[in-house]
Amino acid sequence: MKGIRHTPVAPTRTQRLAPGAAIDAHRHDDHQIVYAGRGVLAVTTGAGLWIAPGTRAIWVPAGTVHAHQAHGELELRLVGLPASENPLGLDEPTVLTVGPLLRELILTHTHTDGGAGARTPHDDSPERARLRAVLLDQLRVSPQQPVHLPTPTTPLLRAVCEILRTNPADNRTLPALGREVGASDRTLSRLFKADLGMTFPQWRTQLRLYHALVLLAEHTPVTTVAHRCGWSSASAFIDVFRRAFGHTPGTYQPRR
């Protein structure tokens, strides 16, 4: 695996990244929970892109080659778990819902303040063991979320997907896109299901939601985000966003 950093033990820590900063491709022998305490996090693997705002975390199984990308001021919270502990029974990256209790458990578990009386991630006290046990229990019951943008492997799909990645607001139909890349809509529709496991409208919605999260992390106004991502109105965008993430995009607007 030339060029890919290998860290045997997945660290448990807090790391702050500036907007646009990245952590290059690497892998761990341990599992890892990756959470954005602030900002929006994108995790990329060979299979695609997973994105998580503050109400989501990403499960990264042991051995998975992955890279991190920061959108907005990112406060990255990392929880390492031994490969022998797989509370979710998952062998591929997965986005999980983070409720208020799980969020506080992750924040506490990754607390690195060296002040008097502070617990560090490497503290092996009984209190910390109990905290970890509750965190694992909460992970087991956390709903999984389909916030995943798979990467196409076939040339025709790559061409179509690149057009839309370049301009998520492109509202052309699949037949119109097919004419540009030299394929029928029936062929492309079949490839979306076979190669990506989702329909064309589902993939385009996921792409637009990903792009919306990036823009919101940069404090772009909601109405502007809606139009840049191809929604016909701000209200239509807000409705789709709320159903996907459980809160409105206004949550990302800076407080005045």
Q: Which domains does the chain have, with CATH numbers?
A: 5-145 (2.60.120.810), 152-252 (1.10.10.60)
For a pLDDT cut of 90, what percent of the chain falls above it? 42
The rounded mean pLDDT for the chain is 86
Instruction: Quick: pLDDT tens for 38-61.
Output: 888 889 988 888 888 877 889 999
- List CB contacts of 44: < 8 A, sequence separation 6 or more: 50, 66, 67, 69
Hey, which bits of the chain come out as E strands? 5-7, 13-17, 22-28, 31-45, 48-52, 56-60, 66-81, 94-97, 144-145, 148-150
- Mean pLDDT calculated for residue range 111-125: 53
With bands split at pLDDT 50, 70 and 90, how would you rate the model's confidence at 115?
A: very low
Distances (CA, A) of 217 to 76, 110, 234: 14, 23, 17
246 or 146, higher pLDDT = 246
Distances (CA, A) of 127 to 86, 141, 218: 21, 22, 38
Answer whether residue 146 shows pLDDT above 70: no
- Mean pLDDT calculated for residue range 7-30: 84
Helix (H, G, I), strand (E, B) or coil at 18: coil
**Residue position matching structure tokens 């490497």:** 122
